[in-house]
Amino acid sequence: MQELFQKFEENNYVFNYRTVNGSKTVQDVFFAHPESVKLFNTFPTVLVMDSTYKTNQYKMTLFEIVGLTSTEMTYNVGFAFLTSEKEDNFTWALQECANLLKCKKQMPKVIVTDRDTRLMNVVANIFPTSTALVCEFHILKNVRARCILDCKVKDSKGKHVKSSNLVDTIMNAWEVIVNSPSEELYADAVLQFRKVCEQFPKFLNYVVSTILKPLKEKIVKVWTNRVMHFGCTTTNRVESAHGTLKGYLQDSKGDLAKGWKAINSMLIVQFTKTQATFGINSTVLEHKFKGNKMYKSLEYNVSRPAMNYIYKQASRVKDCGSDSKKCGCVIRWTHGLPCACLISKKLKLGRYIRLDEINIHWKKLCFEVDDDVEESNRHVSIPTELNAIQVFLYTRLYDIHVFF
């Protein structure tokens, strides 16, 4: 433990720990890289969190929290080695995470977790102004597994057997519920689902009472599309981060200091790649945007993913025009970007997309942004960005060489 804390101090980590009832036995440890703290304060809108296991010889849970940059890169906010996954442990870890924010007004708007009720309860307490979403992929897996278990038909001998066609029919009806774009269509989808499942009351009761009643606003599109989640409605990002980390750890037999060493190595590569994407987005413009007056004010000021989202919306103008009902305006609420009907109106009036019509998340192309500085006064250091790009390309070539 002394070695671990020494490494934290030598590398300027933000960290804290607590002991068991005031003894010398460490109970939980939270830590965050200084560059992670910068990224968190720059991109605090969405957090995704989950626990992973088999990372150390003490069988302590590793609680991992990740965020999303303007270039859609996943970055690690912080880590916590926990002796247990009780509400008390999560409360302590998330409070430490919240303390990383310099401005308490910039609390996360959306937090995505799996269906761990203890973690969900703590999120609601520590981040009361945030919207909590539940991973729709995990819910889908749970519903399907329960469907296979409970929904069986009888064969000619009267025995219950599985039917893949029946399962597919029920799951298709379930997906209609989850993807409902309005409350009216949601109600219709639920009625249809009840009809499809009327022969299986046990399964139907499970879905309605255990999932839809308590969680519908956390998984169904009509409600989740009302908040700015930047497309994060599953825990895939944090699970992918788990997988990347396991590649650096190699085994689960090391102590916490060895675990930190692997995490630190992973973070150094992560930061290099992140800086490179900032450089590319700040200095290189895709050909399809060149010469198009509509995107003139966005050039080099908005990330590529944002530009591409807008480009896709522009391609929808032919189908929906300026009709907001046909457009749906989902991208405006979930990503903070102009939707197809707004772009259609601009085309008719011969106007371009203004920079102030883009959510600030997509306009940040560095690790740390001083919000007091006007955007027009911010500048990009070309040599610095090009150097970051070179390092990134070298890293990619190295990864490919090692892989093959």
Q: Say if residues 143 and 80 touch (Cβ distance below 8 Å).
A: no
Shared-domain flag, residues 142 and 128? no
pLDDT in tens, 30-77: 999 999 999 999 999 999 999 999 999 999 999 999 999 999 999 999
Query: Which domain-ending residue is among 162, 196, 224?
Result: 224
The widest CA-to-CA distance across the chain, in whole angstroms, is 79
Q: Where are the beta strands (DSSP E) in 118-260?
A: 131-134, 153-154, 160-161
Question: Does residue 165 sit within a domain?
Answer: yes
Shared-domain flag, residues 8 and 105? yes
pLDDT in tens, 84-128: 999 999 999 999 999 999 988 889 999 999 999 999 999 999 999
pLDDT of residue 237 exceeding 50: yes
User: Edge-to-edge strand order for the sheet containing 131-134?
Assistant: 14-19, 26-32, 74-82, 61-68, 46-52, 110-113, 131-134
Shared-domain flag, residues 112 and 145? no
Shared-domain flag, residues 190 and 104? no
Quick one: which of 98, 78, 104 has its CA closest to 13? 78
Q: Both tokens of residue 193?
A: 């689902």
Assign 387 a pLDDT band (cuts: 50, 70, 90). Answer: low
Shared-domain flag, residues 148 and 199? yes
What's 109's domain CATH number?
A: 3.30.420.10
What pLDDT, on a 0 to 100 scale, did the predictor assign at position 375?
A: 44
Residue carrying structure tokens 């442990």? 89
Question: Does residue 164 sit within a domain?
Answer: yes
How far apart CA 274 and CA 225 sit, in angstroms, is 27
Average per-residue pLDDT in the chain?
90
Query: Which domain-ending residue is among 196, 224, 252?
Result: 224
Distance, first Cα to last Cα, the chain = 38
Shared-domain flag, residues 111 and 193? no
Question: Does residue 357 sit within a domain?
Answer: no
Query: Which domain-ending residue is among 193, 224, 255?
Result: 224
Question: Does residue 59 sit within a domain?
Answer: yes
Exposed, middle or buried by CB within 10 Å (0-12, 13-18, 19+), for 179?
middle
Shared-domain flag, residues 211 and 119? no
Question: Does residue 284 sit within a domain?
Answer: no
Shared-domain flag, residues 240 and 207? no
Domain count, the chain: 2
Shared-domain flag, residues 99 and 191? no
Question: Does residue 193 sit within a domain?
Answer: yes
This prediction has a pTM of: 0.89
What DSSP designation does 307 have? H
**What per-residue string of b and e applies to 88-103 under the rule 16 or more CB within 10 Å gives b?**
ebbbbbbebbeebeee
Question: Does residue 197 sit within a domain?
Answer: yes
Q: Say if residues 334 and 247 touch (Cβ distance below 8 Å).
A: no
Question: Residue 370 CA to chain centroid, in angstroms?
Answer: 24
pLDDT in tens, 133-178: 999 999 999 999 999 999 886 654 555 555 678 999 999 999 999 9
Residue 400's identity, in one-letter code, is I
Q: Both tokens of residue 344?
A: 């259609």
Residues forming a β-bridge with 75: 67
Shared-domain flag, residues 209 and 270? no
Domain that includes residue 141, residue range: 136-224
Tell me the CA distances in angstroms from 335 to 173, 331, 375, one per residue in order: 28, 5, 20
Quick one: which of 190, 168, 166, 167 has its CA closest to 177? 190
What pLDDT, on a 0 to 100 scale, did the predictor assign at position 163?
A: 67
pLDDT in tens, 112-123: 999 999 999 999
Shared-domain flag, residues 86 and 179? no
Shared-domain flag, residues 145 and 128? no
Question: Does residue 35 sit within a domain?
Answer: yes
What pLDDT, on a 0 to 100 scale, did the predictor assign at position 24?
A: 87
Q: Can you spell out the DSSP letters for 96-107?
A: HHHTT-S-GGG-
